[in-house]
Amino acid sequence: MWAFLRFEPSKLASISFLMAESNFVDYVKICCRSGKGGAGAMHFLRDKHTAKGGPDGGDGGHGGNIILRGNANLWTLLHLKYRKHVIASPGNNGDAGLRKGKDGKNEIIEVPLGTVAKDAETGQFLFEVTAHGEEHVLTAGGRGGLGNYHFKTSVNQAPTHAQPGVPGKEEWRILELKILADVGLVGFPNAGKSTLLSVITAAKPAIAAYPFTTLVPNLGIVPYREYQSFVMADIPGIIEGAHEGKGLGTRFLRHIERNATLLFMVPATSENIKVEYNILLKELKLYNKELSQKSRLLAITKCDLLSPEEIKALKKTLPRVPHVFISSAAQQGLEELKDKLWAMIQ
């Protein structure tokens, strides 16, 4: 389980509220401009004791880097939404007496855990931030130039050459956030995911009788026996073709990658539960084959609408996967659901 995701329910509820208020940002594109390296000095030793000394030009300072740092107290990239340009300072030039120029100040960007950095032009994956305090250089600053002291040789005792500093880089980067949670809810729109989250956690996601009520992930802490808990993430509904981007599918699916266990949710009123489950599973596999290797549980929701005889007959048609019948509205099967999820997480 993700040890850093242990917060009081009241705090998680406020986080969920912020997300529901469209303050949850999981994608930003920023322009990173690192600092230019300082120029090396071209200088010769001159003092009251030395009229014609050798070269003593110092090296230029390194240009400032742009660095990503993980922060477990952040849950969104909202603070970067309107910060389109991140600029680090240049390094100072070298000086006489072999004095090295001061390095440029690094620009540090704090991001939530689960943030992925990509090259905006090629889409190439660069790195992922998963630990508090973990740092990665997003855009490196320019190297400082060498002073003329380095170019002294046996045949050239007075070099009149020093290196200029290497220019900084200007690169567009994409930052994407993947929600970290113990359990991720997977289902079509209106499968009852948000209702379940609101019943077994302190989170208050938006709930309505129309598709795509949930447009951003919601998190909640599920209290368990003997003061234990685990974190559940309500992922926006998936539709067929989501792996190709339909219904903002790829924006939603990436959050499932960071969940330890997947809870598939299909309503008992569905025409064919097995078909719906297989469609959901197929979309996950097409997006990322590794998702099919995660432990998963099938929850048949809204079971209060069925009679015991109908539930018994329905069990014969279910896919071969661990399952449980629940009703969030009627508070049925929720303890059994939590028991099974806890066992899978452990």
Q: What is the pLDDT of residue 251?
A: 58
The string of DSSP letters for 105-150 reads PPEEEEE-TTEEEEETTT--EEEEE-STT-EEEEEPPPPPPPPGGG
Q: Using 70 as the pLDDT threshold, list the residues of the chain that sit under it.
A: 1-24, 202-217, 236-255
Domain with CATH 3.40.50.300 in the chain: 3-24+179-345
Q: What is the pLDDT of residue 11?
A: 41
How far apart, in whole angstroms, are the C-alpha atoms of residue 281 and residue 319? 11
The residues, ordered by sequence, that sit 6+ positions from 54 with a Cβ below 8 Å of its Cβ are 44, 45, 149, 152, 157, 158
Q: Do residues 291 and 260 make contact, with C-beta atoms less than 8 angstroms apart?
A: no
Residues facing residue 66 across a β-bridge: 107, 139
Other C-beta atoms closer than 10 Å to the C-beta of 90 total 27
Task: Say which CATH class 27-177 falls into.
Answer: mainly beta
Q: What is the pLDDT of residue 260?
A: 81
For residue 25, what are its two tokens?
């940002």
Domain with CATH 2.70.210.12 in the chain: 27-177
Task: Say which CATH class 3-24+179-345 falls into.
Answer: alpha beta
Q: What is the pLDDT of residue 183?
A: 86
Q: Do residues 221 and 12 make contact, with C-beta atoms less than 8 angstroms apart?
A: yes
Q: Cα 311 to chain center, whole Å?
A: 40
Q: What is the pLDDT of residue 14?
A: 40
